[in-house]
C-alpha cells in the first residue's frame, strides 16, 4: 500500500508538490526549482493554475495568516476565500471586531454582511 501524501507549495514559483507526510526526522523541504523552503499546506489543497496571479495572491495571504488545507473528520478543510475581494472583506471584519485574521479568513459568512444585505 502506498503511503499517503500531502501538498507543499512554493509561492515564488507558484508551484505545488505532493510529497509524503512529514516524519519525525524530516529535514526542511525545498523547492526543486528555486531552492526556497516549501510551505506545508495540507492534503485537501488544490493548487490554482500557475498563471492565475490573483488566486496565488489570495493563497499567499491565507498561508501567511496561518490558514492551511487539512482534511477534517467530515471531509475537506472547510471554507477558504477564493478571491482577493473575499479576503479584503474578512480582513476588514477582523480589524473592526478584533477577531484574529486566521479565524476571520475561514468564516463562511460575515455577520455584518448579512445585516447589510437585508436593508
Quick one: which of 97, 96, 65 has its CA closest to 81? 65
Residue 22 in this model has a pLDDT that exceeds 50: yes
CB count within 10 Å of CB 45 equals: 21
| Rounded average pLDDT over 9-35 | 89
Share of the chain above pLDDT 70, in %: 85
Quick one: which of 43, 36, 45 has its CA closest to 22? 43
Residue 1 in this model has a pLDDT that exceeds 70: no
pLDDT (tens digit, 9 = 90+) per residue, 47-92?
Answer: 999 999 999 999 999 999 999 998 766 666 778 888 999 999 999 9
pTM for the full model?
0.81
Can you give the pLDDT at residue 118?
43
Are 23 and 57 in contact, with CB atoms under 8 Å apart? no
Can you give the pLDDT at residue 79?
85
Can you give the pLDDT at residue 73?
64
112 pLDDT tier (thresholds 50, 70, 90): low
Domain boundaries of the chain, sorted by first residue: 5-117
In angstroms, the CA 100 to CA 31 distance is 30
Can you give the pLDDT at residue 25?
67
Amino acid at each position: 500500500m502506498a503511503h499517503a501524501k500531502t501538498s507543499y507549495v512554493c509561492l515564488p514559483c507558484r508551484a505545488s508538490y505532493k510529497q509524503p507526510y512529514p516524519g519525525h526526522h524530516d529535514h526542511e523541504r525545498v523547492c526543486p526549482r528555486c531552492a526556497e523552503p516549501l510551505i506545508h499546506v495540507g492534503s485537501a489543497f488544490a493548487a490554482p493554475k500557475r498563471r492565475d496571479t490573483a488566486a496565488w495572491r489570495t493563497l499567499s495571504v491565507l498561508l501567511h495568516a496561518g490558514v492551511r488545507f487539512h482534511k477534517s473528520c467530515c471531509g475537506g478543510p472547510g471554507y477558504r476565500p477564493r478571491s482577493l475581494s473575499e479576503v479584503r472583506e474578512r480582513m476588514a471584519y477582523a480589524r473592526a471586531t478584533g477577531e484574529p485574521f486566521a479565524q476571520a479568513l475561514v468564516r463562511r459568512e460575515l455577520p455584518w454582511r448579512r445585516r447589510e444585505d437585508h436593508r
